[in-house]
Amino acid sequence: MVKTNSGADQLISVIIEGIEEVKGSDIDILDLREIENTVCDYFIICNGTSNTQVNAIVNSIQKTVSKQIKDKPWHVEGTDNAEWVLMDYVNVVVHIFQKHIREYYDIEGLWGDAKVTSIATNY
């Protein structure tokens, strides 16, 4: 796991748990703390296979985070078409993509200076 402050560390762990609960794939954590003028400290990026699964991942993250650490996202957008949903937890921003949309926007490439931690999934 990435070395973080404990609040962000716990939030990241719980978000990953929510993603894994509904089999979200290709999970990456981008540590943006060393980059100037960023909007947050971390991005978590993952894929869903369809708009149904993308929305299931969003719902699972919200439910898991709310239940375990009593937090909710400051802002969520993109659930209408569910090709790219952004969940803003202030210091941690979650991007849930359909695979072809993730490849098109290539967030990891745009933030190439970030330290990337890939999470292995067992499914």
pLDDT, one tens digit per residue, over 58-110 is 999 999 999 999 999 999 999 999 999 999 999 999 999 999 999 999 999 99
- Position 5 confidence tier, pLDDT thresholds 50, 70, 90: low
CATH of the domain at 63: 3.30.460.10
Cα–Cα nearest to 119, from 6, 7, 23: 23
Question: Is 19 contained in some domain?
Answer: yes
The residues, any chain, with a CB within 8 Å of residue 87's CB and separated by 6 or more, are 58, 61, 62, 73, 75, 76, 93, 94, 96
Domain presence at residue 1:
no
- Residues 48 and 81 sit within 8 Å (Cβ to Cβ): no
Q: Answer whether residue 15 is part of any domain.
A: yes
69 belongs to a structural domain = yes
**In the prediction, which pLDDT does 1 show?**
44
Residue 26 lies in a domain: yes
Task: Say if 50 falls within a structural domain.
Answer: yes
pLDDT of residue 2: 44
The structural domain count of the chain equals 1
